[in-house]
Chain A
Amino acid sequence: MRADEFDPLFLSQVRLGIVAVLLQRGAATFPELKDLLGVTQGNLGIHLRKLEEGGYVAVEKEFVDRRPRTTARLTRAGRDAFRRHVERLSRLGD
């Protein structure tokens, strides 16, 4: 990716939103992300998987009170990429 190009993983507003939430909170559960971003379960799952494959997000699955809970955390690579992306957006917006 060239320095003046946008990160393809952030071309989707849902993925941008997921990373923005995780940057703010450090981690968030699947229902929290769904509620905050106002997306469907399937849509969120697809975007979360793409971010995970890109190494921007780490997803943990566990059972709490016999119910599955999925928690997403932002990785260092994700944090750095998001900051670069927002800086680039801000610079071009000036």
Chain B
Amino acid sequence: MEARSRADDLAFVRDVMARAERRIDPHAFHFVSWGAVVLVWYPLMNWLEESGRRGAMLWVGLAALVLGFALSGLLEWRRTRRPVPAAEDTFVGRQVVRIVAACIAAAALLSAVGPATQAIPGERVPIVWGFAYAVMAYAVGVVYRDEFRWAGAFIFVGTVAALLLPHAQGYVLGPVMGLGMIVPGVMAERRVARLRLQEVGEPRD
């Protein structure tokens, strides 16, 4: 096969694929931070409702949202301070952003319109978010990595269970949605950190 050796071709393919992978950063810290917030928030809401402290639920909800946005904003700011390799803003990265934006927007809209039109009872809004997280994780898994697909299936099953257990909805949804976001998110963040480190240690083309 001409002067170039087969070993050269195989090494070239491996090198190109490794370089192509390391430019993907799905900003998975958002999954980790929101997963952590939901992990505590939903069970706490369930407990407040059970103990008859409904007045505190609104404030806890607001505090959780503020904390989630603050964490996401802080981590995004930290991310902008890291060196950005050329061509990091990839097609896959943009797809992940679009999937997350579409799922969050749909869930937020349903959370507002559903109770207002009495199509969805207010106390069942977390179920909407459970399904939104499930679809979001699964779709991210389709374009990025399989662990997100498994997480999506896990969250979906957990949300169906929460649907069948209305009195324990928060106790089920919190851990399912939290872990379903944190585990693949941490895996993705560790992969990005490792690949970035390798790139820093390599000579430029």
Contact = CB atoms under 8 A, between A and B. Distances in A.
Interface residues of B, number: 23
B77 to A, nearest CB: 25
Given A20-B20, A28-B91, A38 B205 contact: yes
B2 interface: yes
Contact of B19 (A13, A16, A27, A36): A36
Interface in A70-93: 71, 86, 89-90, 92-93
B58 to A, nearest CB: 41
Residue picked from B2, B10, B24, B91, most chain A C-beta under 10 Å? B91
B92 A21 contact: no
Nearest to B10: A89
A28 B12 CA distance: 18
Contacts of B23: 32, 36
Given A6-B1, A35-B87, A25 B13 contact: no
Interface in B121-146: 143
A38 B16 CA distance: 11
Nearest to A29: B91
A9 interface: no
Contact-residue size bin, chain A (C-beta under 8 Å from the other chain): 20 to 34
- Determine chain A's interface SS by DSSP, over half rule: helix
A89 B20 contact: no
Contacts of B10: 86, 89-90, 93
B6 A89 contact: yes
A28 B91 CA distance: 6
B17 interface: yes
A32 B87 contact: yes
Top-6 shortest CB links A-B: A24-B20, A35-B87, A20-B16, A21-B20, A17-B16, A32-B87
Interface string A23-46: 111111101100111100000000
Contact of A35 (B4, B6, B86): B86
A27 B24 CA distance: 12
Contacts of B9: 13, 16, 89
Contact of A23 (B4, B17, B90): B17
Contacts of B13: 16-17, 20, 86
Contacts of B109: none
Contacts of A16: 9, 12-13, 16
A93 B1 contact: no
Given A16-B12, A36-B23, A93-B6, 5 more contacts: A24-B17, A32-B90, A71-B91, A89-B9, A89-B10
B21 interface: yes
